Chains A and B, each alone.
Chain A
Amino acid sequence: MSRNLYDLIGLAAAVCFILALKGLSHPKTARRGNLIGAFGATVATLLVFFFTGNPSEKNWHSLPLNHLPLILGAVAIGLIIGVPAARKVQMTQMPQLVALFNGVGGGAAALVAIVEYLKLGSEATTAEVIATVFTVIVGSVSFSGSCITFAKLQELMTTRPVVFPGGRFLIAANLAGIFVAAGWVVNSGGNTPLAVLGGLSLLFGILFVLPVGGADVPIVISLLNAFTGLTVAASGYVLQTTLLIVAGTLVGASGTILTRLMADAMGRSLFKTLFGAFTAKPQAISAGQETRSVKSGSPEDVAILLNYARRVVIVPGFGLAVAQAQHTVRELADVLAAKGIDVAYGIHAVAGRMPGHMNVLLAEANVPYEQLVEMEEVNPTFAQTDVALVIGANDVVNPAAKNSPGCPIYGMPILEVADAANVVFLKRSMRPGFAGIENELLYDPKTTLLFGDAKDTLTKVVSALKNL
């Protein structure tokens, strides 16, 4: 009886996860969906403390749990680290936090499989060993790969693709080594082969993510997320726990679709992104362009330009997020609207460091939803736009994506701000964007550059506008 109840509650938790993903796919139900998922996960966790499984199955455990104080202590440590990190993180740093959470999940799944493997020893069936090998490989890749994406997003290391001579051969050799080690584990078992396999997989995760350029990092996070899901499913197989199989597979499948959707939104070939590691060649970075002249203006100049415009399109990017200038932008838009100027925000799906980053940021400043215009709709209107105000965005308006085949962002759809009568760039410096590519538009005669922190500069523009 209690066994059936255990399974039923587990099933209910699995249904919660399906409903969570379903809810998260629609704006109106997203928040509720997330709460349903959290509820399901909580129930599933509590279940382990109060019900035991079937003694003949792998997921059976004693009750009360062995090492209960230590287990509760470990959960408490996890809570103490995880909750404040999630609560206090700034909006600008959210992407790397998600990457990190994903990485530790992958690491946890790999450890679970390793512990179960150590315990089973020679009793493990071939299927269990294969599932363990899969979990160790993919979980370790997800863990180390996520750490590198974290380092890239946090700008602890360069955001450009890291490609070194012989890298392709190294990664191919690494991959071959993983296959050999996997065969070794399956054939002879034991701890040493497994440790070798784990080490090689960790290395592969690093080599796999290093050549990925900054703009593609969100796609990689999403892919690693799907990987972690599959790892969890494989651990579920080893532990014969249906809930883990369902939850892990759901995430693996939906994560794969999501990765493809993201790649499509960025106009990237998923294949090229993923196998960049195998095909990337060291690129000579063209130098000597920095000496060309640019036109920089004062906040007052920009205020005058805006004052006599009929239509202004604001293009926000990561710089807006960094400067926390979303409220100031809203104020600017309100002042312009009060003067009878038509204002819209041109939102590129991948502006910022993650798809939808700008929507989240501007929503925080209560920008009306109708003013956020997606790329396909806003692009045809640039020809009738007097001023395109680019705030801390670069790659998403870089014409190199259209004009220079071979550059890392080539093929990505961009916001066609060059069609507007005037372009104003608010930038911190002449430094290129996240993808590390020079933007030709900065040197265009109709472009005005306004250097400085976006928030300070915008505040000055707003006060200048009010005085006009």
Chain B
Amino acid sequence: MMSNGMALLAIFTLSIFVGFEVVSKVSSTLHTPLMSGANAIHGVILVGAIVVADHSSNNLELTLALVAIVLATINMVGGFVVTDRMLEMFKAKKK
């Protein structure tokens, strides 16, 4: 059994390779939507923001956490919506 820290490090390392592999060859047409989609994915920091809001023990912590939730929600939801709008136009082209 690995220690918790080591397990997280292993996950981190393997994720790097997956990330490299997944996008190693992309046509320039898709650079913008891909960037925008990846941008939306890191919006899952929302999960972390909600957890720390729960953890917060004073008003300063709670306020910062709530701001983080607002920002993360904008990042995540806005990111996916804007990416979908970009790709919608590509779809029209395929006909």
Contact = CB atoms under 8 A, between A and B. Distances in A.
- Are A and B subunits of one complex? yes
A7 B44 CA distance: 16
Given A41-B44, A105-B75, A257-B24, 19 more contacts: A31-B90, A37-B80, A67-B62, A71-B53, A78-B77, A81-B70, A82-B73, A82-B78, A98-B36, A101-B39, A101-B75, A102-B39, A111-B67, A119-B56, A233-B12, A242-B11, A257-B19, A258-B31, A366-B95
A363 B93 contact: yes
* B interface bracket (residues with beta carbon within 8 Å of A): 35 or more
B67 A360 contact: no
A115 B56 contact: yes
* A interface bracket (residues with beta carbon within 8 Å of B): 35 or more
A237 B4 CA distance: 10
The interface centre, meaning the residue of B41, B75, B86 with most chain A CB atoms within 10 A of its CB, is B41
Nearest to B69: A74
A188 B23 CA distance: 41
Given A25-B34, A252-B19, A79 B68 contact: no
Interface string A304-337: 0000000000000000000000000000000000
Contacts of B68: 107-108, 111-112, 115
Contact of A112 (B12, B34, B48, B76): B48
Interface stretch (A13-21, A383-391, A392-400, A449-457): A13-21
Interface stretch (A173-181, A205-213, A351-359): A351-359
A77 B70 contact: yes
Contacts of B95: 366
B50 A71 contact: yes
A243 B50 CA distance: 14
Contacts of B93: 363, 366-367, 369
A21 B47 contact: no
Interface of A: 13, 17-18, 20-22, 24-28, 30-31, 33-35, 37-38, 41, 44-45, 47-49, 57, 59, 61-62, 65-67, 70-71, 73-75, 77-79, 81-83, 85-87, 89, 94-95, 97-98, 101-102, 104-105, 107-109, 111-112, 114-116, 118-119, 127, 218, 221-222, 225, 228-229, 231-233, 235-237, 239-258, 261-262, 265, 349-350, 354-357, 359-361, 363-364, 366-367, 369, 374
B80 A41 contact: yes
Contacts of B44: 13, 17, 41, 44-45, 232, 243-244, 247
